[in-house]
Amino acid sequence: MEKELAKNYAPQDIEERLYAKWLNKKYFQAKVDKSKKPFTIVIPPPNITGQLHMGHALDNTMQDIIIRFKRMQGYNALWQPGTDHASIATEVKIIEKLKSEGIDKEELGREGFLKRAWEWKDEYGGRIIEQLKKLGSSCDWDRERFTMDEGCSKAVTEVFTRLYEKGYIYKGSRIINWCPVCQTSISDAEVEHEEQSGHFWHIKYPVVGTGEFLEVATTRPETLLGDSAVAVHPEDDRYSHLIGKKVMLPLVNKEIPIIADAYVDREFGTGVVKITPAHDPNDFEVGKRHNLPEINVMNDDATINQNGGKYAGLDRYEARKQMVAELKELGLLVKVEDHVHNVGTHDRCNTTVEPLIKQQWFVKMDELIKPAVEAVKSGEVEFVPERFDKIYFNWTDNIRDWCISRQLWWGHRIPAYYCNSCGEVTVAKETPSTCPKCGHNHLTQDEDTLDTWFSSALWPFSTLGWPEETEDYKYFYPTNVLVTGYDIIFFWVVRMVFSGFEYTGKAPFDKVLIHGLVRDSQGRKMSKSLGNGIDPLEIIDKYGADALRLTLITGNAPGNDMRFYWERVEASRNFANKVWNASRFIMMNLEKADGLNSEPDALTDADKWILSKANSLVKEVTDNMENFELGIAVQKIYDFVWEEFCDWYIEMVKPRLYSDTDTTKNSAIWTLKKVLTTSLKLLHPYMPFITEEIYCTLLEMDGRNSEDESIMISNWPEFEESYEFSKQEEAVETIKTAVKGIRNVRTDMNVPPSRKATVIVVSESASIREIFENSKVFFATLGYAAEVKIQEDKTGIPEDAVTALIPGAAIYMPFADLVDVEKEIERLEKEKVRLTGELNRVKGMLSNEKFVSKAPEAKLAEEKEKLEKYTMMMAQVEERLSQLKK
């Protein structure tokens, strides 16, 4: 029995079945094939703690659209999947789970903790992958990687040792972001800057031996305990006489120098800044220039340490409170100003991050970054949209050495080994058996792990087998496009680019397609705290993955944020229904037709018009997709399918399909099938499930087995010059304009579609008359015509005929055909009585002085507006009655 489409479109009935079929048939699989050109995308690896959210849904839908498009174009398309171990996020989750069981991380010990971590990863780590599959993601799942699998770990160790040997990795004391709760250094990517209400405390620093004071403003008075100097601008005349002198540091009662440094903004505040090298990244740089001592006044838990004197042991905020009170007592607190400023917080625990000087492992960035800058300047790596170049350069121009060590257990352990006898540090790929310096065999590995971004920076090539020269690596690398949100452009993209050049000698990808955030309908960022997040899986369960995908891409422009509206999901689902129902209609007519395997000899103007339109659409959509204008492309497909194909062409051909004598019936059916097939292929990357179900049903009807065929591996449509029918396009557009004109007139006159009228087309142009002659059959249907007459002049047209004008022609319809005059007079007389009553009531109220004097302004204005409206309506009714009674 032939397969047929279900009566109603139900995504729940098809999506799981089709995805299983694709997996079973290995359609997503990419193998080295040198006869084909490769096209590679690496997935931005989601965290193993991850739950699919709208950002993931957008990012992965965009990648899937591109990879499906390229697969259909004949490329050997690889979408490389995998997940990230996400050091801090995962460790936090595991610690929470242990706490719920009454287990302390430290008591468990490193080995015991890591055993639990791997168990956690095995249980929860693949959850987001299963969710991505529900979205329709066509990754080569047989190649799934994990940033801590054996191959990726080998790449990490290789990179660390290489960089160390070149002198690019070193251990030293620099300012880092420190989380006092998680008690680890964290990367810039894990610091969220949020506006907080705070204060500026203005404090007097006495200038030694002068009786003068310097006024300093600070948002963190507690760091005063670690001040090494105060600084002024070298060209600031107000303070030039004090440069080289000293101030007495309040509360600490020690002398520190007054220095000159161009870092100071003399226009901001008092033009004097305190320099605390151990607690501020900018101060750290100033301290290096002036050889200032670096005094850390905080413990790892953000309490004051022994360098804080009598404040030692106090929490940073308690110390602040006591110090401010004391400064006030001493008369050194000038004033306190309210101040809203950006404060860095840890994105995992929301604790305010403390900039601290710490002994950590760092990567020297000054040389490594140069090829990454040049690649974007030369166009070797291109951003889409281009404006993100500026943000990229802003980050690379201000690059600091990268802190890569983390005080965590989950992650790649730093391959550095310390000799317990002589203190020698050995960096090696394998654990050394003896110290190369003294021969001692008691070696201890560094306790720290590497920043998560260290391994994900290698993702485009470590996933393909590097550092081995594997066949996959040689064939699929460099990759072609990276799709990512603008919020991680610096942290991840830059690191992948410089890593690619340093370790492979090549840029890791040609293009970086940047997308924005999915915001709620009010334009707010989706977050747990606002409770405005939307679960993509709920949308998929209710409306289907295709509807979600179409919603996310419709109106989407590279780099721009988009707002999520439920109404748009409904609209996407309605479009899917439209495509389904149109396909069912076409298939029902296909069953009744013969000779569908070859192009018919006689195509009508309508057939040529839709073929030409579809042909132009193929060209435009292909160009848009090549340029990553995915939102523009799908809007064109949507408009074509809904309006041109369904609302116009299918309606145009119905009279031919329903006729037993029309000799062009077969050409109509052939054209319907061809345009439907082309439309489905163009739509497939966006809506893979519905297009596959319809396409495979079509194949079965055509006598081929759908088990061996799929739209996924069909050829992408190509522009065909033989289908350029500009003359027929003009002809049908003329008919459409006429139909729209007729419908507008009928709507204005409230004429129901069931009431047919004689339609007389008058044109002096023989070519226009010919257009209407050739299109009489469908023009009559679309124009609700009982009869169509085509003539050169107005001979025989009734005086009361209603007119619709189009370029080069006038369309006339006898008034009596449109309106039952007696019934219309009766209706208008009733309307006149109603309006008379309304006018009398309003005039009565407005002539009542008591009402006018006491009524609120808004009520008076409302009644005056009604008077104006009813007066105008009465004039229209009387004019219409006058015309009808003639």
Reported in sequence order, the residue ranges of 370-437 that DSSP labels E, i.e. its strands, are: 382-384, 402-403, 405-406, 416-419, 425-427
291 belongs to a structural domain: yes
With beta carbons less than 8 A apart as the criterion, state whether 582 and 705 touch. Answer: no
| Helix or strand holding residue 670 (H, E) | helix 665-683
- The verdict on whether residue 274 carries a ligand-binding annotation is no
353 belongs to a structural domain: no
| Orientation angle between helical segments 105-124 and 87-100, nearest 10 degrees | 110
Same structural domain for residues 720 and 735?
Answer: no
604 belongs to a structural domain: yes
426 belongs to a structural domain: no
Confidence at residue 537, expressed as pLDDT on a 0 to 100 scale = 94
> Per the structure, how many domains does the chain have?
5
Question: Can you tell me the distance from the alpha carbon of 490 to that of 404, in angstroms, rounded to the nearest whole number?
Answer: 15
DSSP for 729-780, written as a single string: HHHHHHHHHHHHHHHHHHHHTT--TTS-EEEEEE-S-HHHHHHHHHTHHHHH
What residue type is assigned to position 699 of the chain?
L
Residue 773 has a CB neighbour count (10 Å cut-off) of: 12
Question: Can you tell me the distance from the alpha carbon of 112 to that of 105, in angstroms, rounded to the nearest whole number?
Answer: 9
Q: Give the domain CATH number at 752.
A: 3.30.2320
Q: Name the nearest CA neighbour of 684 among 275, 47, 71, 46.
A: 71
Enter the tokens of residue 353: 């991050």
With beta carbons less than 8 A apart as the criterion, state whether 534 and 54 touch. Answer: yes
Confidence at residue 489, expressed as pLDDT on a 0 to 100 scale = 66
Query: How far is CA 686 from each of CA 385, 395, 546, rounded to the nearest angstrom?
Result: 21, 34, 7
Same structural domain for residues 575 and 717?
Answer: yes
Same structural domain for residues 708 and 839?
Answer: no
Residue 468 has a CB neighbour count (10 Å cut-off) of: 13
Question: Can you tell me the distance from the alpha carbon of 360 to that of 355, in angstroms, rounded to the nearest whole number?
Answer: 13
With beta carbons less than 8 A apart as the criterion, state whether 580 and 406 touch. Answer: no
Alpha helices in 25-76 (DSSP H): 54-72
Residue owning tokens 């560094």? 446
DSSP 711: G
Reported in sequence order, the residue ranges of 10-164 that DSSP labels E, i.e. its strands, are: 38-42, 76-80, 82-83, 145-146
- Among 772, 796, 815, the domain boundary falls at 815
Consecutive 10-residue runs of the chain (886 residues): their mean pLDDT? Answer: 78 96 96 96 92 91 98 97 92 90 91 94 90 97 97 97 97 88 80 81 94 92 95 94 94 94 90 94 93 93 92 94 95 90 76 88 95 96 93 88 93 96 93 91 94 95 97 98 85 93 97 91 82 90 97 90 92 97 93 64 90 97 97 97 95 90 87 96 98 93 66 94 87 92 88 90 92 90 92 87 87 86 83 93 91 89 91 86 78
- Among 796, 815, 834, the domain boundary falls at 815
With beta carbons less than 8 A apart as the criterion, state whether 548 and 578 touch. Answer: no
Q: Give the domain CATH number at 619.
A: 1.10.730.10
Confidence at residue 304, expressed as pLDDT on a 0 to 100 scale = 94
Q: Up-side HSE of residue 859: CA atoms within 13 Å toward CB?
A: 8
CA 663 from chain centre, in angstroms, equals 51
Same structural domain for residues 250 and 287?
Answer: yes
Question: Can you tell me the distance from the alpha carbon of 663 to that of 665, in angstroms, rounded to the nearest whole number?
Answer: 6
Confidence at residue 194, expressed as pLDDT on a 0 to 100 scale = 76
Same structural domain for residues 283 and 244?
Answer: yes
| Helix or strand holding residue 621 (H, E) | helix 605-626
Q: Name the nearest CA neighbour of 86 among 121, 133, 138, 36.
A: 121
Same structural domain for residues 675 and 704?
Answer: yes
Enter the tokens of residue 20: 């299983």
Q: Name the nearest CA neighbour of 606 among 553, 517, 668, 563.
A: 668
Same structural domain for residues 148 and 46?
Answer: yes
Confidence at residue 598, expressed as pLDDT on a 0 to 100 scale = 57
Same structural domain for residues 507 and 401?
Answer: yes
Question: Can you tell me the distance from the alpha carbon of 751 to that of 849, in angstroms, rounded to the nearest whole number?
Answer: 45
Provide the domain limits for residue 829: 822-885
The percent helix, strand, coil of the chain (3-state, each to 5) is 50, 20, 35
Same structural domain for residues 717 and 742?
Answer: no
Name 223's Cβ contacts closer than 8 Å, sequence gap at least 6.
274, 276, 279, 280, 297
DSSP 152: H
Query: How far is CA 138 from each of CA 135, 314, 454, rounded to the nearest angstrom?
Result: 9, 55, 27
- Residue 58: phi, psi to the nearest 5? -65, -50
Confidence at residue 216, expressed as pLDDT on a 0 to 100 scale = 94
Q: Is 555 exposed, middle or buried (0-12, 13-18, 19+ CB in 10 A)?
A: middle
Confidence at residue 1, expressed as pLDDT on a 0 to 100 scale = 34
- CA angle at 784 for the pair 781 and 785, rounded to the nearest 5°: 85
Query: How far is CA 536 from each of CA 64, 80, 82, 429, 750, rounded to the nearest angstrom?
Result: 16, 22, 20, 43, 44
DSSP 232: E
Q: Give the domain CATH number at 325.
A: 3.90.740.10
**Coil, strand or helix at 252:** coil
- Among 699, 724, 749, the domain boundary falls at 724
Confidence at residue 126, expressed as pLDDT on a 0 to 100 scale = 87
With beta carbons less than 8 A apart as the criterion, state whether 201 and 333 touch. Answer: yes
| Orientation angle between helical segments 566-591 and 688-701, nearest 10 degrees | 0
Same structural domain for residues 798 and 843?
Answer: no
Same structural domain for residues 805 and 876?
Answer: no
Maximum separation of any 2 CA atoms in the chain, in Å: 120
The β-bridge partners of 444 are: 418
Q: Give the domain CATH number at 136.
A: 3.40.50.620
562 belongs to a structural domain: no
Q: Name the nearest CA neighbour of 545 among 1, 10, 185, 164.
A: 10
Question: Can you tell me the distance from the alpha carbon of 554 to that of 638, in angstroms, rounded to the nearest whole number?
Answer: 9
Q: Name the nearest CA neighbour of 143 among 463, 504, 575.
A: 463
Query: How far is CA 240 from each of CA 272, 548, 816, rounded to the nearest angstrom?
Result: 12, 65, 98
176 belongs to a structural domain: no
528 belongs to a structural domain: no
Name 237's Cβ contacts closer than 8 Å, sequence gap at least 6.
none
185 belongs to a structural domain: no
Residue 808 has a CB neighbour count (10 Å cut-off) of: 14
Strand order across the beta sheet in which 272-275 lies? 246-249, 254-260, 229-232, 272-275
With beta carbons less than 8 A apart as the criterion, state whether 275 and 259 touch. Answer: yes
CA 702 from chain centre, in angstroms, equals 40
Same structural domain for residues 720 and 578?
Answer: yes
Beta strand 213-218 with 405-406 is: unpaired
CA 559 from chain centre, in angstroms, equals 8
Reported in sequence order, the residue ranges of 162-309 that DSSP labels E, i.e. its strands, are: 169-179, 184-186, 191-206, 213-218, 229-232, 246-249, 254-260, 272-275
